[in-house]
Amino acid sequence: MIKAIYPGSFDPITNGHIDIALRAAKLFDEITIAVIEKKSEKTLLTTEERLLLIKDIFSNNKNVKVISFDSLVTDLAKEKSAKIIIRGIRTIIDFDYEFKMACMNKRLYKDIETVFLAPTENFNYISSGLVREIAVLGGDVSAFVPESVKLVLKEKFLK
């Protein structure tokens, strides 16, 4: 069984993240979407909110699991017996950062491999940061996130 981890903050999860996860789920026997608990950074959505949204989105995908973590991704991979880290790459800037991270992860855990997936063309410009900015300013994010995420963002910014 080939297990992979797809780590990220997913604050919020976007259609681009979902695209990567669904395509990875076709490549590997089990995908664990691992939501990082960023104690040093303030997130828009709590860890619990992100977990609930992501679990709901992937509730019909039996080979997709959703967890949170607050350790090195390589330690999580060892704990879950995963040999693959999935990372989405939209631009050359993403690649530069992710390549360095993949090299560091390999140094920390020699058995880990990083697989880079480019999002489907219609999702390659979406980022959580841009979605947050649009939502803060009252814009329509329905083209970038599932309805459940859109509703949570709308509720956050109406308060």
Domain assignments of the chain as residue spans, ordered by start: 3-124
The class of domain 3-124 in CATH terms is alpha beta
Q: Are 26 and 159 in contact (CB under 8 A)?
A: no
Which DSSP state fits 7?
Answer: E
- Residue 115's nearest CA partner among 36, 21, 38, 11 is 21
b/e code 59-76 from CB counts within 10 Å (16+ = b):
eeeebbbbeebeeebbeb
pLDDT in tens, the chain (159 residues): 999 999 999 999 999 999 999 999 999 999 999 999 977 778 999 999 999 999 999 999 999 999 999 999 999 999 999 999 999 999 899 999 999 999 999 999 999 999 999 999 888 889 999 999 999 999 999 999 999 999 999 998 876
- Residue 63's nearest CA partner among 97, 100, 94, 21 is 21
